[in-house]
Each structure stands twice: as C-alpha cells, then as structure tokens.
Structure 1
C-alpha cells in the first residue's frame, strides 16, 4: 500500500471542501480501513506504525476542519478492527476503547493541563493523581472470571465484539486458571495485552531460522499470530505472556483507584506491570514528573522484558475517570504518548558485501534512505548468507527496517503483500547470491574452519578492506583512541579513489593501493617531526610519507544552487582529502584535521601496553583481556615470548583470558608479518612496556566490581582502570560472584538485579572509599560480611 501524497493542505475552516480534498479524504478512509484489516485480522501490517499514524492524523486533520464530510463509517469513529470470522464472536460486557495518541511534548502538555483543569475546576484544593505506565506493544485481550475461574477470553475486535480465544489463552502460563487470595467479585472482566518478551522472541526466531522457517517481523506480530492459531497446541508451543492494564465489566473491586486495582489484581494472582508509577498534582511540576517517566523509559525501553511503543497516562481515581467520561472512541481520562517510530518501510535497492578487519565477508542492505528513530538510514547489516535466506528478502522488496537498541539498523523482513505488486510498479525482484571471491582483493572466499557459516577472505596481510579495517580499529576508543583516524580517514589512507560514483548509483567504491600499504607504517606518519606537529607549517617540515598524503584524492559530490539553496547535483569530482586544495595565494598543505592526526598518533605512542594489544587486532583480544595480559606480563616482549614458546596453559589461566584467547595469541605471534608490525611500531617509538607503579595499593585483590550508570568523576574506561590497577576485576554483569555494584545516574537493570541478589551497592563516594581502603571499609555495614575479602561465590 502506498502512502498518498499530501495535498497542499486542508481547505480553510468554513470553506466548502474542494473536490481534490474530498478525493483525498475518501482515499485516506479506504487506506486506513485496509491497514486496520491487515493489522487486526491478518496480523500482517502493510504499513509501519509511523506510516499508519501519519495517515490517521491526516484523516483527523481533515475531519476537524470539515466535520460536514465525516462519514459514519470513518475509521476515526471506530475503535479497531472487526472480529475475524475464524473465531466465535464475543460481546464484551463493557466496551474496550482505544487511546488518544500524543506525539509531542506540546501535545502532552495540552492534554494534561486541559484534563487536570477539568478535574480541579470548582475545587482548587483537589490534587488529582495519575497512573503512568508503559504501553505494551501486544494484542489487547479481555478476560472474564466467574467464581474465581477463567471462563472466557476474547480479543478487542471493534471494541464491542471480539474473538473467542479462550482455549488459546488457557495455554499462557501468566494467566491463572483459578484466582488465589480472597475478595474477588463473583464475576468480573479485566483487560490487558498478550505479548512475547524480547528474549523469548529472539529465541523463537533463532529456532525458526534453524528450521528453515522465515522469522517473525516483530514481537507484536508473533504474539498476535500465535494467539490466533486454530489449534491451541500450536499456541502452547509459543512463549506468550500477558500483563493486565484495566478493569472491564463487573462490580466494584472494592478499591478506589487504578493503582489500588493493580494491587488487588496482583494479590489474586493476576499479572500486572512492574513498570508503573504514580504522579500527583495538576500543575507544570506534575507534568514535569510525567515527562521524566517518559524520558526514563525512552532510555530504558530495550532493557524492559517486552517491547513498548509509548507511555500511557491515566487519571488514577475511578471517580475522576467517571467524571471525565469518554468520547465515542477514546476515554477522556487516558492518553498514550507515542515514542518516535522504530519501524519503517523502505525499498531494498541492493544487497552488497563488505569485508571486515578479520576477513569476515558480511552482506549488507543498501536501501532508499529513510528516517527511523531520529536518524536517516540507508545501510544495514544482514550478517551472513544464511540470515539473508532466513529473513526471506529479495532485492527489490519493500522491507521493514528498525533500529535494534535505538542504535543499530536492522532489516526485519519483507512486506510480503507489496511483493505481489512489484512487477506492476516496474520493480524486478531477484535473489541475493553470495560472491565466491573477495570484492576487495579477488581472493577466493572460504570458511575459517569446517562447519563455519561465515565466509572469510584468507588474504589477511594485504587485502585492502581488511587493512583499512585494522587501521580504523587501531584508532578506536578501545585501542589508541586517535579521534582523527576514523572510518573515512582509514579508508583513504589505504585505498585509491576507485571509479566515478556517478557510474555506480552514487556509491563510493574505493579500490587500489593508497599511501599506507600495511598497518606497520601508521606510526611513521608521526615519526621524525614530533616537535613540529602541534603548530602550523608548510610542506617543508613534513616527512616523505606525510607529504605523500597530498596526493590522496577522493570523490566528492558537487552541489548546485536551486532557488537559493544548494542541493546535490549527482556529479562527482576528485578532491584532496588530507590537504587543502591550494590557491594562487595559498599553497596546498595539511588540513587542520591532518595535523591533529599527526599529533594524536604521536601521543598514542605513550599509551599503556594493553591499548597496543587491542590495536593489533588479535582475534578475541578486547580491552578486558588486554588489561589482564598487560597486568600479568608487564611488557610486549614478555607476552610475545610466552606466546612464541606455546605456553598455552600459562596464558589460559590468566583471569579473563582462557584457552580460546590463549590459542589466538599463539597463532597470531606465529605469523612473521604480525611480528614485523610489533617491531616496526616499537622502532617508531610506540611504548611496549608499562611502568610499574609500586605505590598503587592493591586494595581490590580478588574483588569483583560492576560499575553501572554515569559517574561524575569517572568515565567508563577510567573506572575500569581504577579497579584493575588495584588488583580487582571489573565485570560487565551482576551475579552472585559480584562483590560490589557501583551505581551512578540512570543505573538501570543492573541495580535492580544487584538488589535482588543482595549485592552491596555503593554510590560514587563509596566507590572512591572502596578504591582507597578496599572492602574492609564496609565490613561493619549491612552487606555480605567478609564475602568481599574471600572472593568466594556467595551462592
């Protein structure tokens, strides 16, 4: 389904609607109704949530300005989809309403202050309370209990009539067949969302991939499809859960408010959300508290047990809810603040492959640029050829795109209904075929070992793509932290400019040898002129290698001025990257960023040995293992001697290393060209030995510390460093073996787990004390006494 092009805007209020506006309105009605059918009945939405919301809001805008054209069957006058004929119809005892959607803080402010004003009108002393809870992205279901037993379960349907899914809901472990406790009414209804937890969804899709089945697009579709199985045995095999968020028909539960109702339901064994807050007040301060909850769960949304798409704000007191009442479609006492969209649709233009620094060849999607979760995305990884097959995508498909963790773009799968119309839209669909040779150097691809799914380029030493990846990696924050050596700079140090992008769909395809032909040369860019690097200078002060950077040219798209605005022209020109272009008055010379590159590389030479280990791109050796190795050996020479002597057991017994990393070290140092890199860096002045600080007390010997949240006086890396240099272990996860958790701002789920396990929790001041005095400083407090000093598993 295509999204209609908006007209120039609704005609002004009071004017007779134009024929163009009436046609747009009729089209919108049909499209929204079709989208609802696909969403509620077929569990196969053709539009993303964001696209549907945009259509629906446009429909509302037109109807608000021109109420005379509102059709009786307009989707804005209905709650949801109709009940499917595949299930018996169930008439709800009380109507199930939709919620008014709010998409900005301004809309939230308008709704909140208007609603609060209604509640306090004539009674200024009243201070209404609000239940603020997460909006679960699931399938709305109504449960009916009679004499404490579950007798009926039905989907929302159109709000009045839903589908009987009783037998399927009985298979959900969270839903009690018989209530516990006492005080429940003889018969009553409760409402909630059936969903699939994030962890269960990932496991289910992994299982389907192993079985050769296409993955589900998202947890909501998976839950809805599972609940609508005609065979309850199929539903029983799906990991469904349910959380209640409301009360339907039936007598008073004996409580006066929403949050008290949740307490009562929980006491009867019914599932309620752990993510509910109570906010009091009717002014800007109360609104600020609501916004704070929205922002908190916006940051934490992927830490929760289930997917959410917003936050629901409800008047807490049932008396206030009755006072406010309902419209024909939504309650006036509740609204849903919707987060920015995380799933959108876009066209899959091609599937290309990239080669990483370890030689792994990864397919990635090249798509029409689209905005998702606040940024424009056109590329997304597809991991390997098996994942491409499992996702079932074809080049030319319209695909569902989302951001995993609000950061990483991910292709979820194809929009199958649109595949059928691809030919009519002039789109040719084709399958992806994994290349047999490395696209960067032409070497035949092969698995690293028998049984591996991933294909790799075995030309590790001279493959341009792998070299560029290693050069970029050595400048990364976890290695030498050379800010001026990012992906683009690394690419152009290693590669020539390649063909004109205008001949390749606008894509820059680097190829050929660049200035740097091996990572051993990188520090030569800083060698020989350290005293001159920090100040401006001409070419006279440059080394031969530095001067050769002036020959590096890259393709840049030119821009054309149209109506006073510069826009991309589609034409490309070769421009210098590391040097200025040069004019008749001012000769070409290093850019400010290039001079900064020289400076930062010079400073990197004095970094500790563990950073050098990370920078060498030894497989599996990250910052944690590198720190442990540097602490154990103290110098590159000592570590190299152990590896070349094949001392696997000695390496493996180091905390945080183990046999896999030990084998990787031995294999890496066995390569002559790897040893050449170490020797060349050492000759250029890179530090290969740490100075031992004998004055640093080993206050944390045998102590495991987890740091979470933001600390004012420590970055994440410096906090880890402070723990390690005192003999402690800086862990990333909380377990029974954790001795202390240091919790800063926005600590999140690690703090919750620590509290559940009884792990002592310290604030930043406590962390400083722990570093200085060790666990003995807390021996008299209410902690696991003596545990921190033993290093034993409290479990």
Structure 2
C-alpha cells in the first residue's frame, strides 16, 4: 500500500480521491479563490489517479468519474484563467511545433556493449572483476572481494531512449537520446504520456533529478493502433519501436496524446540533492526503489544476482517469457549494482564499462508462400498479405505476413510458391524481407481491379488504390466509421461493430443511408433497445447542419485531416465553392501543396463520391457555409480571449481566425487586443497591462468587429 507521504493526494484530506463527488456547482457561482482551491485539490487528485491507473494498474475510480474530475479541472482553469504549468490538463497536448529543437543532455547517454553469446557475457564479467581489483590495488576503492560484486538485471526494451529532467519535483524537460550528447527536445510530447508524472510524488526528492527511460508502445495497444491505421487505409507501423519513435517525433503534441505510449525509467543520469534532499542511493537497486516512491514507473522484472551465471540464467528466463510480456524486448541489460564500483570502472567514449547487453537471437524462419490476399482500407489503399505455409517463428506460429505494397512485391520478386524468409519485426508484425528460393515463374501480378468492388486500381508511387470511392463496400464501412469519429461528425453509438451490423442488415449501403435510419429499423436488430435506437437517430439528426470543416473531415478525403479541413472551410466558405475549385485554387490554401491539392480534386471528381455528397444533401445534410467575403477583414490582428463570453472560447477563436486574424492562448508583445468576458483571469490582464495591450469587454469587441464588417456574436450564417 502506498503511504500518504508519497501520494499526490491523501484521501483523508482530498475529497476527489476515493468515491469523489462529480455533481459540481456551476463554475460561474464560484469566486476566484474558491475556484483556485478546488482546482488545486483536483490537480492533486488527478495526478494520484493517473499514477494508480498508468503506473500501478490499480485505478481507484471508474473512467466516467475520472473524466468528470478532469473536465471540471479544465473548466475551472479556462473560466478563471488559472495557471496550467504542471497541471495534468496539459497532457492533452499543446500548440504544434515548427520543428524539434536540439538540446544538450545533462549527462551523456551512452550506448551499451552487446553480444548474443554467453561467452561474451562471461568476458564482460572478467573485465569487471579485473577492473575492480586494479582499482582496489591503486587505492581508488577500499578493497575488493568477489563477494562484494552484484549485478542488477533488467529487460532490454526495444523502444526509444529518453532523458527526463525534474527540478524541485516538477517536470521541466525531455529529450531523445540523439547522438548521446545532444537530442531532440520532446518536452511537449513526453508531457502527454500518462505514466510520466508532471510532478514527483511526495516531498522527499532531489532538488534536481535527471533520469533515463525508454518510451515504448505496449504490444496490445500497438496491435490495436495498427489495426486502426489499416482500417483507415494508412501505413501501419512495422514494429512497436518504430511506433514509439515516430510518435515522439510528431510536431503536434495532441497527436502524441492520442497514441498509447508508455515509459519505463531505469537509470539515474544526475541526482542533485540540494540542502534538504535525499542523497543518491549507493546501489542501483535502491535507486529503482526510489523511483517507485517518486511515482516514476519502473519495470517489475528486475532481478539482483550475485554472479554472472545468475545473469545468464536471468536472460534465459526473460527469453522464455518473451511472448508473454506486453512490451517488446530484444535482450537483457546487466549492470554493476554498487555506485562506487561503477565510478571506479568508468566509461569509454561510447559505453560504460559497468554494463552489458545480452541480446536475444533474431527471430526468423523460412517457409512457402501459398497465396496472396489483397485487403482494402478506408481510403481505398490496397495492402497485399502473403498467405504462408504455417511456420514457427520464435515460438509463435505464423501463417500470414505483410508484403506492404505493390512496389515491395516487385522489389522482392516474390510470387506464390516461392520460399521466403519471415521476420517477426518487433515481436509483432511478421514481414517478408527476402526470397530465399525462387520456385515460381515471374513475380506476383498485382490486380488491376479492386478485389471487393471490381473498380479500377490506380497506382500512386509505390502504393495502389481502389477508385471505387464511397461506392466500394470495403471503403464504405470504414468511411461510415470515419464519419462518426470525434474529430469529424462525432456521432456517439456508431462504432465499428454497429457499422458492420448495419451494413450486413442491408440498412446502410451508402453513407447517405445513415440518414434514412429509423428507430424502428434499429430496435429490430439484435442488441438494440428502444432507447439506444432513439439515441442514435437523435445523434444523426443533430449532424444535419454540421460546420463545414467537420463535414469535410468526415468525408475522409485522403490527406485531409481536421486542420486542413478547417483551412479549406475558411478559404472557400461553402461546399459548392470547394467542389468547383481547381488545383490552382486549392494550392492557395495554407499547408495544401501539389500532392494534397491533387488528392482533394481527385476525390471530388470521382462519380461515386459526388453521388454520396449529393445523397447526403438530398437527405437534409447541409454543411454550414462561412461568409468568405470578409475572410481578410481582421487580417493582421492578434486576439487573446479570457473569461466567459456569449459563445465558447473555441468558437470565438474560430470566428476571428476565419476572417484573417490570429487567436493565441497567451498575451505577448504581438497581441493587439485582450478580449475579457465575465470572470476574466487575472494573469492575462496583468500580462496585458505589462505589455500595454488594450483590454476590450465583449461589447467593445463587438463594436470593433462591426467597424470591420464582421458580426458578433456568430450567427447561423457564420
């Protein structure tokens, strides 16, 4: 049981830890002091719940209760402009970055010598013992006996190594390993990872703590995430390591927040105690115990052994358990336990002399290709899969392996009947790296027609796509799922299983068919009741006049996500204007280059997609237009909003941005106006005074917009 001294929040003092109340009084009824006090309790409670969920895997409350606490904290911070530095709400992401800055590490992040042979591990042990004996002889350490040496053994995670810095217990920075001396600054990205505490637990921690960890994607989460990518017609990650590395290097932290990353911490890079902080532990095993008290997640498969044979046995145990672990490992790391021994052994320019990685052998096998299946994703992308004579690869029977795309098939020269090598990349997705024996004539002929709907197949570089669009059943099912996503039309109750059920029942054979559904139709299906049926019909009815950007995002146009959809909506103002825009006009939109413009134009030119859009409009689904005539009416102005307005802050920002203005979250010397609604935050007003930025109440803001021909508040025509 975790003691109260190392908790983020004590249930005896914080009402939001155990059985928390979620029926909150209106935000507007609170004073600023009351809001600040409640927010402080909620921050501590949310940190505690994050730790129990992500680190200890023993949540105290249900997801619904957690969501209510998190939402209340977000509302308080927004309404009263409370400081969010270190707040759990910052995990949801932040402003996208232009690029990743390079930062110097606090201490070098060195490589580790490695080998797959036990003989090399025993040689490492001999070097350690000889080095410590020499250090004792020279007086660098006070004597050395064989019994003094112990090793700590840990799984070698196959992820991305990161440096994380805490000062006075607060998370301040994270960086990738890079070249060991410098790495990419991923502070905003790592902040979104649920298992990384924004504040260390308890009060007894170093003044400055720099730790090394491994960012990884759990195997079950990786498989689910890859499945979702494939369903959307996107390129899946080859292995969990690529997934972790690719995620952390995303420039948009909100993208990182949506992906299932985790971190294990396994070493101290710097420990500065300060006047009252604890001293650094003398042994590595005790440092890992300290990690637990700080709330830093560490792996539970660590073992301490007295000799190198124990370390070799440990490696064999982890190898045998490899397939049962929920994270990818490619070996074990053997470390000298005592800090004084580590310091005596020192390091070379590239690796410490006190650590060694005993790696696993590669996981490969040879088998025969018995067939090739071509799958169709949401965007129409065709993905070939090799059907194999089942073969054991590292203890797992493999009967299918990805061939990635037509260009990969051509590069391999593979065909049905060939003997191929199978490699289990990252312990998860098998793929074919080479043909080892050619037993067929020629190369597999990729189909010219979609295997599902028979439409023509088009090549785009190394990839192939079905041109059937929304008329292809395989694409339709995924298109409906995409339409219902939160970042599109946000239709609750329309998940993958229900979409499949509706299609199989013949109720949804095209996207417009969704709006023909009746509660009676749905209630007649297995697993539906009158309430759930009525709720889905109501959800769909509520999307008949969606914002133009949501409508565009819901269509699933290749290369058009929520951000590009907003830019298109702001530029063209109406669906009809966009439907008629040529590639030249599309390329005038920010972030729309030649390839994206061609992709948009191709999507709208296809008969099946035009028919689906027309069908939606016939059923009363008409996206709201934006008055594009005043698209530059506020050009050059920068606004910051605080307090409660007659519309939401997000709608206010979108309203001015659609007319050429910038809307930022903090006041600076570049800000033209701070717009203050009811209960405005004090810090933004103070910043405005310091920067000599005019402060407008909502009436003055409306007058300013009116002078430029822009209405306020936004009405339905906006």
User: TM-score scaled by structure 1?
Assistant: 0.36
User: TM-score scaled by structure 2?
Assistant: 0.40
Q: Of the two structures, which has the highest relative contact order with CA contacts closer than 8 Å and spacing of 6 or more?
A: 2
